[in-house]
Amino acid sequence: MIFSIAKEEREIFTIIEEEATKLGYPAFVVGGFVRDRLLGRQTKDMDIVCVGDGIKLAEAVASRLNPIPRVVFYSRFGTAMLKHWDIEVEFVGARKESYRQDSRNPDVEFGSFEDDQNRRDFTINALAVSLNQYNFGEIIDSFGGLRHLEEKIIITPLDPNRTFSDDPLRMLRAIRFSTQLQFDIAPKTLASIKENKSRILIISKERITTELEKILASPKPSIGFNLLFDTGLLQLILPELAALQGVETKKGKSHKDNFYHTLEVVDNLCKKSDNIWLRWAALFHDIAKPPTKRFEPEIGWTFHGHEALGAAMLPRIFKKLKLPLDHKLKYVQKLVLYHLRPISLTKEQVTDAAIRRLIFDAEEDLDDLLMLCEADITSKNLNKVNKYLEGYELVRQKVKAVSESDRIRLWQPPITGEIIMDTFKIPPSKEVGIIKTAIREAILDGNIPNEHDAAFELMLQEGAKLGLKRG
Ligand code: ATP
Ligand code: MG
């Protein structure tokens, strides 16, 4: 089968083919680029494997491009990278890897193209396109990846136990691809993840978090988090979240399963927002429910203070996941801390002061907070859902009304009482107030611009109406 090469790629593919031929290296486009193109997904990174020195090939290709790009080396890995237009092209020599039990860092040696294909994680990531003269553009499918793309299935090219024990990060990658592409993981591959799950502990937190973040950035993250839980990986990498799972019943009273509730909230939110930090906030909004859970015979299950404890737990969780400890953490903490506040404002007769406090506390993140609150409605009872939604709409209206009246209250017109008193040589009096109000109303109604000269002119007119003369 021939790969359909887009117009904008033909130039670089042809140059790679010509330079690789000169150097005597067989060359191929491999991995994610081929997969994503066949699926019609956007890709910005392209991996080129050659049987030879990847750095030499990168330099030869760069010298042919216009403008000549800078080539970045990673000599330790024998890779080189250049950027052409907005595509990042990475060059690497074909290699063979062997792994030791205690580390994910492989011993690398040069290998054949087949060796290189064998170390790929999934069949859909082991497709390659030839950049060689004799079969330029032909798809090389050593493990049935084309069929698996069609069948929407994630499966390892070799025995999954070997693939996963060689590099346990691949277990997370399987779940991440399953979430991004909405593909199933083949039963044997999935069983092997369960079996090898504890090997994940040798992987660095940064790499784990990168995969978690990609799951969270997908259209329906619950697919991934359910798989993480079912395979037992979540219990190892984020036990605080796994602890939300389960329902307890006492004296005929049960609470909801807070894990599945959380995943529903995350999915709901993802339909409304791409903001990854808001998505983290949704994932963590009930994180302190397990440690605050109490059974009170009169009321049933309660989780008093889970919002404050949740916010307090976040710095440790962020640190563990190597997430940033800056304003992004503060933002997520703020949303977790206040996620119950808007609902309380839909219930009682709410004072302006309570609304003002919400505006003050949430600052510029108030819209995001309300979005989180709306996503938090997971009731299956449509009447209840509508009641909550109306409540939040009312909160939004009150926020608007209070902000507007505050703006007017705090707003200073260009002509002050002192100027009026000084101009007409009058003491503080009712007339000063009448003139000030007339100026403010004229500006708010848009009859005069909010400027000194126009306001001064109007002051003189209003003064004349009151029989005042300029002193
Ligand atoms: P994305 O770019 O969306 O993260 P990708 O599949 O392109 O997905 P990359 O990290 O860009 O992932 O890697 C490119 C290719 O390298 C993959 O398609 C795969 O063939 C191979 N690869 C990457 N990481 C691994 C790994 N941990 N084990 C085996 N093969 C891998
Ligand atoms: Mg990629």
List Cα–Cα distances, 165 to 98, 177, 292, 358, in angstroms: 11, 19, 38, 51
What atom of ligand 1 comes closest to residue 36's alpha carbon? 7
Length reported for the chain: 471
CA 105 vs. chain centroid, Å, equals 28
List Cα–Cα distances, 304 to 237, 282, 310, 342, 350, in angstroms: 26, 19, 11, 16, 22
Residues 469, 431 contacting (CB under 8 angstroms): no
At residue 109, the pLDDT reads 78
Nearest residue (by CA) to ligand 1, atom 28, is: 121
Q: Is residue 212 within a helix (H) or strand (E), and if so which, with residue range?
A: helix 205-216
At residue 348, the pLDDT reads 61
Region of residue 252 (left: phi > 0; alpha: psi -120 to 50; beta: else): left
At residue 261, the pLDDT reads 98
**In a mutational test of the pocket of ligand 1, which residue from 173, 181, 204, 211 has the highest number of ligand atoms less than 8 Å from its CB?**
173
Is the CB–ligand 1 distance for residue 178 below 6 Å? no
What atom of ligand 1 comes closest to residue 166's alpha carbon? 28
111: phi then psi, degrees, rounded to nearest 5: -145, -175
Nearest residue (by CA) to ligand 1, atom 12, is: 32
Amino acid (one-letter) located at 96: K
Is the CB–ligand 1 distance for residue 106 below 6 Å? no
Q: Which residues surround ligand 2, an ion (CB under 5 A)?
A: 32, 45
Q: In degrees to the nearest 10, what's the CA dihedral of 317, 264, 153, 39?
A: -90
pLDDT along the chain (471 residues), means of 10: 85 95 96 95 92 95 93 87 92 82 66 92 97 95 97 97 95 98 98 97 97 98 98 98 97 95 98 98 98 94 98 98 97 98 84 86 92 96 94 92 76 86 95 92 80 93 94 83
Q: Whose atoms come closest to the Cα of 92: which ligand?
A: 1
Q: Whose atoms come closest to the Cα of 171: which ligand?
A: 1
Peptide bond preceding 414: is omega within 30 degrees of 0, i.e. cis? no
Taking the C-alpha atoms of residue 215 and residue 199, their distance in angstroms, rounded to an integer, is 20
| Termini Cα distance of the chain | 95
Please calculate the CA angle 373-379-380 and round it to the nearest 5 degrees: 145
Q: Buried (b) or exposed (e) across 154-178, using 16+ Cβ within 10 A? A: bbbbeebeebbbbbbbbbbbbbbbb
Residues 20, 64 contacting (CB under 8 angstroms): no
Please name which of 284, 107, 122 lies closest in space to residue 193, comparing C-alpha atoms.
122
Q: Find the radius of gyration of the CA atoms of the chain.
A: 32
The domains located in the chain, with CATH, are: 7-151 (3.30.460.10), 153-237 (1.10.110.30), 417-465 (no CATH)
Q: Whose atoms come closest to the Cα of 177: which ligand?
A: 1
- The DSSP code for 186 is P
Residues 131, 16 contacting (CB under 8 angstroms): yes
Please name which of 315, 253, 268, 327 lies closest in space to residue 287, comparing C-alpha atoms.
315
Nearest residue (by CA) to ligand 1, atom 2, is: 32
Ligand 2 centroid to Cα of residue 181, in Å, is 14
| Cβ burial, residue 44 (10 Å; 0-12/13-18/19+) | exposed
At residue 66, the pLDDT reads 87
- Return the structure tokens found at 428: 């503080």
Taking the C-alpha atoms of residue 60 and residue 62, their distance in angstroms, rounded to an integer, is 6
Ligand 2 centroid to Cα of residue 33, in Å, is 6
pTM for the full predicted model: 0.85
Taking the C-alpha atoms of residue 139 and residue 129, their distance in angstroms, rounded to an integer, is 5
Task: Enumerate the H helices of 338-451 as residue ranges.
Answer: 341-347, 352-362, 366-375, 382-410, 417-424, 430-444
Question: Number of C-alpha atoms within 13 angstroms, CB side, residue 336?
Answer: 30
Task: Enumerate the H helices of 248-296 as residue ranges.
Answer: 258-272, 276-284, 289-292
What is the secondary structure of 57-84 as a DSSP string? HHHHHHHHSSSPPPPEEETTTTEEEEEE
Q: Whose atoms come closest to the Cα of 41: which ligand?
A: 1
Nearest residue (by CA) to ligand 1, atom 15, is: 31
**In a mutational test of the pocket of ligand 1, which residue from 42, 43, 90, 125 has the highest number of ligand atoms less than 8 Å from its CB?**
125
